[in-house]
Structure formats: C-alpha cells, structure tokens
A = this chain, B = another copy of it.
Amino acid sequence: MSLNFCFIGAGNLATHLSKALQNKGFNIVQVYSRTEKSAKELAGFLSVKYTTSANEIYKNADIYFVALKDSAVDEVLSQINFGNKLIVHCSGSLPLSILENYCENTGVFYPLQTFSKSREVDFSEIPIFIESNSIKNGELLVNLAREISSSVSVLNSENRKMLHISAVFACNFVNHFYTIAAEILKSKNIPFEVLKPLIIETAKKVQDISPGKAQTGPAVRFDENIINSHLQALNNFGEYRQLYMSVAKSIFEHYKK
C-alpha cells in the first residue's frame, strides 16, 4: 500500500500511531496541531512539515487521521474542507457519525492502549478497532491496521464506547488507585518501590486467570475486622476512605452472588 497520511492532532496517540505507520513505510505528509509546540515536536520526530492553521492543511493526503481531544473535534474539523478524502478519528467514545458533517468517506481507527510520549510501545500487540461508512473504506482501514498490529477487529460505535468505558476502569481508574496507594505510603515515608512487584503480578495474573478468579484480600474474604480497621486508619484520607468503602462493598456484593 502506498498511502499519504495527514495527522490532525499531535498528542500522545498521534505521536505513537504516526511513528508506527512511518516505520512501516507509510508517508506522513503533514502534522497539524493547534499548539505550535506539539505540532513542531511531532513534525520533528517524523521529519515532516507542520502547520497550526487549519486552512493550510494539505489537500493531497489519502487519509486524514483525527487524533484530537474529543471536545476539540468539531471546532477543528469545521474549518477544513476534506473533499472526498477519507477521514478517520481515533476516539474510543465518539461515534462514527460525528464525521458525517465534514466528509463523505469516514472511518474510525481506535488503538486500545495508554500512550505517553516518553514511553515506547510495541504497536504490533495493540488491538485496533475499525469502523467505517462503507465496505471499501472498511477494507482499506482493516488492511492498514494489519500492517502495524496483529489484533484488528471491526466494532460499531456503541460497542466501542463500552470498550472504552472498560478501558477507563482497567487503565485510568487502576492508575488512580496506584496514585492513591503511593500517597498512602508517602504519609508513612514508605517508598512506592515496594508495591511494584505486587502491581506487576496483579496485572500478569489476569493474563492467565480470569479476574473474577484472581481476586484475593480482605474484601473477598468478607473479613470485616480488617475492613473496619482499614477504614479507621483512613480517617485522615476522607475521600479515599469513601472510595475504600464503595469498592470493598462492590467486591463483597460481587462475590456474594
């Protein structure tokens, strides 16, 4: 496949996806971002041109990848005339239909991973979810996704949203619990370091065992003494105490069934 791509957005996802595509020999022609710093940085990585003006976006790309914060999509796209080019967004939560106002040929290209600029990721292991307005566009996107990933599926907007919600629980909310754990340890001058083997093993366990079967700890054992003594110890952590109570209750309810 010889295709030219333009990236609209230069954040974490755009950075990793554009690099993965370029590494496979695809041609990134331009990067657009509203933020000069981001645009310049990503364009520098890729050795391509960038712009911060929507009306300077090249007309000659085959696919326009929209990797913007969801709330910015409408504002940015309304300034661009895409003609009959293929425009795809990379959002878990936005429906495909949001692109209909801007173009005839539309698609979604959603890689399910947490991206930070400072970390390399192996794109070949990242599941990619495709949706499109036509069979032809769908085939193009599926074939493209297969060039960079070994896990490519077609998924409609409603199911993609549920997938995104599950990812919020399994990644963002999980990471927040790591943050809470780190804060609790810090209050006693215990280094976060000591939790790292536990965090890795907890994640590895569910690669082999279903999370329902992997559960351990006081909540699943209905150990009220421990739970109450933990709640008391969390008296100075008001908000985290509430979270402890809600999650312990949820575990309890889940395993009572």
Contact = CB atoms under 8 A, between A and B. Distances in A.
Interface string A63-93: 0000001110000000000000000000001
Contacts of A221: 69
Interface residues of A, number: 95
Please classify the interface of chain A as helix (H, G, I), strand (E, B), loop, or mixed, using the class held by over half of its residues: helix
A210 interface: yes
A54 interface: no
A35 interface: no
A179 B251 CA distance: 9
Nearest to A122: B197
A104 interface: no
Interface string A187-225: 110101011111111111111111110111111110111
Interface in A199-257: 199-212, 214-221, 223-226, 229-230, 233-234, 239-240, 242-244, 246-247, 250-251, 253-254
A251 B182 contact: no
A101 interface: no
A194 B112 contact: yes
A204 B202 CA distance: 11
A161 interface: yes
Contacts of A169: 177-178, 180-181, 184, 240, 244
Interface string A143-187: 000000001010100110111111111111111111111101101
A122 B157 CA distance: 42
A119 interface: yes
Given A162-B185, A174-B174, 14 more contacts: A70-B223, A112-B195, A116-B214, A116-B216, A119-B208, A127-B194, A163-B194, A166-B184, A168-B218, A168-B230, A175-B206, A176-B250, A178-B206, A240-B250
Interface of A: 12, 69-71, 93, 112-116, 118-119, 121, 125-127, 151, 153, 155, 158-159, 161-182, 184-185, 187-188, 190, 192, 194-212, 214-221, 223-226, 229-230, 233-234, 239-240, 242-244, 246-247, 250-251, 253-254
